Structure 1
Amino acid sequence: MTATPAADSFDVAVVGGGPAGATAATHLARQGRSVLLLDRPGEIKPCGGAIPPQLIREFEIPQELLCARVHAARMVSPADRHVDMPIEGGYVGMVDRDVFDDWLRRRAAEAGAELREGTFRALSEDDGGGVRLTYLEGRGGSGAERHEVRARLVVGADGANSAVGRQAVPGSKEIPHVAAYHEIIEPPASAEGACFDPQRADVYYRGSLSPDFYGWVFPHGEQVSVGVGSAVKGFSLRQATAELRAAAGLEGTRTLRREGAPLPLYPLKRWDNGRNVVLTGDAAGTVAPASGEGIYYAMAGGQRTAEAVDTALHSGDAKALAQARKAFMREHGQVFRVLGVMQRFWYTNDDRRERFVRICADPDVQSLTWDAYMNKRLVRAKPLTHARIFFKNIAHLTGLAPA
């Protein structure tokens, strides 16, 4: 393998073409920056695929990308208690990640980013203060052609366990993860024997399915995503998924594909190296605790990262890269802290999971939950409702309320 004699030059090289990387590349290209968007082909992240209305509005997502619309969620307790949470006057969109991510990358290319398929290999400092980025064509491997580009700045959007982060950003190796696994299956031919509704997302809180997270059954139009997640080493995700399919009456449906990947649990304390590299999306840890929601936060993080990169390019001051994390945490940090506390407490054992599902039956909880999820903000305008929820939570926490 031989290097390209003269390296191409860009203002920014974005490594990873998922929602975070594609969003960052689109914004920077629209600002007139020369952008390389490098994506490893054939990667489909295991993902429930839920996107809230705020994402559709904020990032101008066309309705034809939605493969299903969810009008309710069902919480299933360890004792098989079912609590339905209808969405009044709205819906949550569902997307297939292969189709959705491809559309986002094509939008970045239409904005002016240069899209290349390749596998990232290494970063090195350039004499002019920028970065030399080496990648192999396609999925790499023996015989793959080696290329090198120069960039003033690099955005690492290459997922959890980011190779860019491991090479360039201190602390990125220590981020904790949940291992996620799902199976894409055909929907049941009939509802008989199956606990499945093509307009409802089902979430299973049961220790045998996940000792520290949850299992899900999410409709995707002509497909269904069935999966689980756990950070417990040695826990069999495939066995748990088989148990989940049996519990949902889906064990007889045909499996189309299987996918697995790590999901970060908390945002990194630092996203940049202070010079020329900044992380975003899963690489920066922007997956919400408790819920595992990642698409909206990946795109929001990609937007804030692009704004910080554009500022750094304009000013020549690498300190501006730190604004990516600061802006994101200012907008979403409180939500992440609240969800982190929820996961650490309610997902500990089946008794607590049972109480958690019972809380979900409360109309006040449902109203505020959907308002916060659909519009991506903590609701502060209903103090009496918050007070009622506070005392109800105290009752459940202390065991005064029946399970």
Structure 2
Amino acid sequence: MPALETYDTVVVGGGPAGATAATDLARRGRAVLLLDKAGRIKPCGGAIPPRAIRDFDIPDHMLCAKITGARMVAPSARQVDMPIDGGFVGMVDRGPFDEWLRERAAKAGAVRRTGTFERIERGADGLSILHYRDKESGTPRSVRARTVIGADGAVSQVGRQAVPGADKVPMVFAYHEIVRSPEAGVGDFDPARCDVYYQGPLSPDFYAWIFPHGDTTSIGTGSMKKGFALREAVAQLRRATGLDACETLRHEGAPIPLHPLKRWDNGRDVLLAGDAAGVVAPASGEGIYYALAGGRLAAEAVDEALATGDARALALARKRFMKAHGRVFFILGMMQRFWYRSDWTRERFVGMCRDPDVQRLTWQAYMNKELVRAKPAAHVRIFFKDVATLCGLARP
């Protein structure tokens, strides 16, 4: 039999996490194979904060819209506007954005292949043999890998085969429809504003959304409740907002993890990143920035493991991620469990969003991806306002 190609790293999955890991490793001089299914677009609001644009060199031409505010809609239909003071959130279309990331990896030196991952076996020399099916020819192929990064989504086949507990992450099931955007001023549509709906009929335990992407708009919802009619909820939202007349271009659905896995590696040569590692923020469902960051940390950990021959370095990816973002994930998780549990609590949550302190600290934390610690007086004011709202001493 002919000798198999050997790579320092095979990255399975070409989304933001996998493509970033492949780019960074290739730039470090590693032999990298980036294996991606292609043709799959994840249902996603498409928001990326300024920190992601800065840290990962996202060019302006990849932004199809710049959002300058959000509108929160309560169960009672009350609306609270949250303008961004002097900044914006970038919006991307995941189809061209993910392809641009994969092309950047190729330009950095990664080898691109289109195919479907099937399994990992162990060779006689101890290295992993990764089997996949080529998309164009349909033929099975194999390569040897010193390390493998599984960035193949929430239901990661790499994770399920190689990392204990990878199938134990809670999921939100998300569905959205991409429509052709109406003209500004049609109905209540604003191309520079994201609308978030906290209403039981649209989502009993998460939220529904309208996120403009320039020429197109994402209209979607999510829920952890099995059997909830996601499509009907989106249809209801479109009817209520007058967007049912817009042309539907495509629709997508997928599970989205909302809790980082307790373990991201197998202790030997496999490491997970992105959705496969569960790094989607609770409460908000934001994943692009955390996928980019997780992919970079995965590349650093794999490079260190290859350089030292010490597989324990793989665990550094999770350790460093949780040090940087674990507290934010913990707080957002508590917020989702408490504030999203009923329309009564969500009514009060939206009411609190009217507060200027809440708006200021929320946007600062979101835009910079870190908790704001420099304003203790504002945190104290928010605490007492929260208590007053929950006890019925203040109007929600």
- TM class by smaller structure: over 0.9
AA aligned opposite 1:170: P
AA aligned opposite 1:401: A
Give the structure 1 partner of residue 152 of structure 2: 158
Give the structure 1 partner of residue 80 of structure 2: 83
Q: Are 2:184 and 2:190, in contact at CA under 8 Å, matched by a contact in 1?
A: no
Alignment of 1:232-251 (within 5 A): 232-251=225-244
Whether 1:340 and 2:340 are equivalent positions in the alignment is no
Gaps of 5+ in 2: none
What SS class does the counterpart of residue 292 from structure 1 fall into?
coil
Give the structure 2 partner of residue 314 of structure 1: 307
Residue 125 of structure 1: how far off its partner (Å): 1.1
Alignment of 1:81-160 (within 5 A): 81-138=78-135, 144-160=138-154
Give the structure 2 partner of residue 72 of structure 1: 69
Q: Are 2:150 and 2:159, in contact at CA under 8 Å, matched by a contact in 1?
A: yes
Q: Are 2:211 and 2:218, in contact at CA under 8 Å, matched by a contact in 1?
A: yes
Aligned length: 396
Give the structure 2 partner of residue 264 of structure 1: 257
AA aligned opposite 1:301: G
Give the structure 2 partner of residue 391 of structure 1: 384
* TM-score (normalised: structure 2): 0.98
For 1:211 and 1:302, the matched residues in 2 are separated by 32
Whether 1:49 and 2:49 are equivalent positions in the alignment is no
Give the structure 1 partner of residue 4 of structure 2: 7
* 1:199-240 deviations in Å (ceiling 9; x for gaps): 000000001100110000000110000000001010010000
For 2:271 and 2:316, the matched residues in 1 are separated by 10
For 2:86 and 2:395, the matched residues in 1 are separated by 31
For 2:368 and 2:183, the matched residues in 1 are separated by 35
Residue 291 of structure 1: how far off its partner (Å): 0.2
AA aligned opposite 1:340: G
Residue 189 of structure 1: how far off its partner (Å): 4.1
Whether 1:24 and 2:21 are equivalent positions in the alignment is yes
Whether 1:293 and 2:286 are equivalent positions in the alignment is yes
Identity, % of aligned positions: 64
* 1:295-333 deviations in Å (ceiling 9; x for gaps): 000000111111000000001010110000000000000
Residue 127 of structure 1: how far off its partner (Å): 2.2
* 1:14-64 deviations in Å (ceiling 9; x for gaps): 000000000000110011000000000101000000000000000001000
Alignment of 1:214-229 (within 5 A): 214-229=207-222
CA-based RMSD: 1.1
Whether 1:253 and 2:232 are equivalent positions in the alignment is no
What SS class does the counterpart of residue 167 from structure 2 fall into?
helix
Residue 248 of structure 1: how far off its partner (Å): 1.8
For 1:283 and 1:189, the matched residues in 2 are separated by 38
For 1:353 and 1:384, the matched residues in 2 are separated by 25
For 1:6 and 1:181, the matched residues in 2 are separated by 44
Give the structure 2 partner of residue 209 of structure 1: 202
Gaps of 5+ in 1: none
For 1:266 and 1:222, the matched residues in 2 are separated by 33
AA aligned opposite 2:331: V
Whether 1:273 and 2:266 are equivalent positions in the alignment is yes
For 1:279 and 1:398, the matched residues in 2 are separated by 43
Whether 1:366 and 2:359 are equivalent positions in the alignment is yes
Deviates more, 1:30-39 or 1:241-250: 241-250
What SS class does the counterpart of residue 245 from structure 2 fall into?
coil
AA aligned opposite 2:145: A
Matching residue within 192, 209, 213 for 1:199: 192
Give the structure 1 partner of residue 172 of structure 2: 178
- The verdict on how the C-alpha distance between 1:162 and 1:340 changes in structure 2, with shifts beyond 3 A counting, is same
Residue 393 of structure 1: how far off its partner (Å): 1.3
Give the structure 2 partner of residue 59 of structure 1: 56
Q: Are 2:10 and 2:148, in contact at CA under 8 Å, matched by a contact in 1?
A: yes
* 1:259-289 deviations in Å (ceiling 9; x for gaps): 0011001000000000110100000000000
Q: Are 2:184 and 2:191, in contact at CA under 8 Å, matched by a contact in 1?
A: no
Residue 187 of structure 1: how far off its partner (Å): 1.4
Residue 151 of structure 1: how far off its partner (Å): 0.4
For 1:213 and 1:165, the matched residues in 2 are separated by 26
What SS class does the counterpart of residue 172 from structure 1 fall into?
coil
For 1:127 and 1:338, the matched residues in 2 are separated by 46
What SS class does the counterpart of residue 225 from structure 1 fall into?
strand
AA aligned opposite 1:356: F
Matching residue within 356, 366, 371 for 1:378: 371
For 2:339 and 2:257, the matched residues in 1 are separated by 19
AA aligned opposite 2:3: A
AA aligned opposite 1:205: Y
* 1:130-164 deviations in Å (ceiling 9; x for gaps): 2100000118xxx7111000000000000001000
